[in-house]
Amino acid sequence: MKEELAKRIVQSLKDAGIDFVTYLPETRLSQIVPLIQNDPGMELIAAASEHEAVTIAAGATLGGKQAAVYMENTGIYVSSYSLLTVGKQLGVPLLLVVGYLGGVPDQRNSFLYATIGNHTIPVLQGLGIEYMVLESGEKLETKIKDAVRAMNALRGPFALLFAGEFSI
């Protein structure tokens, strides 16, 4: 992804009120990690599993932060239990910033990723988690702000799936 897009993602997260990010790095959006790390207005916490990343972010939200979890879409499968329990059942807003590998708009799609991508949206739907697919930087700031407002209104996780321009 172009450096400019990475900067716009991080700035938009910050402008939307996100001040706490847990993560497990992946390939498509990894340029955002050092940008978040170097931003004094955001706390970045490395987790060892996406399940853990979701639970830490949920605790931080209950403690007064506005939290995002950055992960690959495979992390949706790993964390589906905590997304359902602490996310949906307890009702804790969380912004899922997801590298959408293997989806149709993934510009680096291959036989390695296609199955992973094929199941992402049905699994989110099965979990009852609303989502938005982003393929370009058009209205990026507005879309991220909309997602943060939606997660707070819904009292639960909301997923942003990044592909297209973001996956180059």
Q: Which stretch binds another protein (CB under 8 A): 27-35, 42-50, 118-126, 128-136?
A: 42-50
**60 versus 134: smaller Cβ distance to another protein:** 60
In whole angstroms, how far apart are CA 90 and each of 17, 58, 139, 159?
22, 9, 32, 17
Give the binding-site size for another protein (rule: CB under 8 A). Answer: 38
- Which of 8, 65, 143, 145 contacts another protein by CB under 8 A? 65
Instruction: Pick one of 93, 99, 103, 157: the residue that binds another protein (CB under 8 A).
Output: 93
Nearer to another protein, 13 or 163 (CB): 13
Are 10 and 32 contacting, i.e. CB atoms less than 8 angstroms apart? yes
Paired with 43 in beta bridges are 20
Which helix (H) or strand (E) covers residue 4, if one does?
Answer: helix 3-15
Stretch that binds another protein, among 29-37, 40-48, 105-113, 124-132 (CB under 8 A): 40-48
Per CB under 8 A, the segment of 2-10, 30-38, 101-109, 147-155 that binds another protein is 147-155
Task: Find the helix or strand (DSSP H, E) in which 96 lies.
Answer: strand 94-99
Report the b/e string of 10-20 with b at 16+ CB within 10 A: bebbbebebbb
Give the H/E segment covering residue 78: helix 74-78
Binding site for another protein (CB under 8 A): 17, 20, 22, 43, 45-49, 51-52, 54-67, 81-82, 85-86, 89-93, 151-153, 155
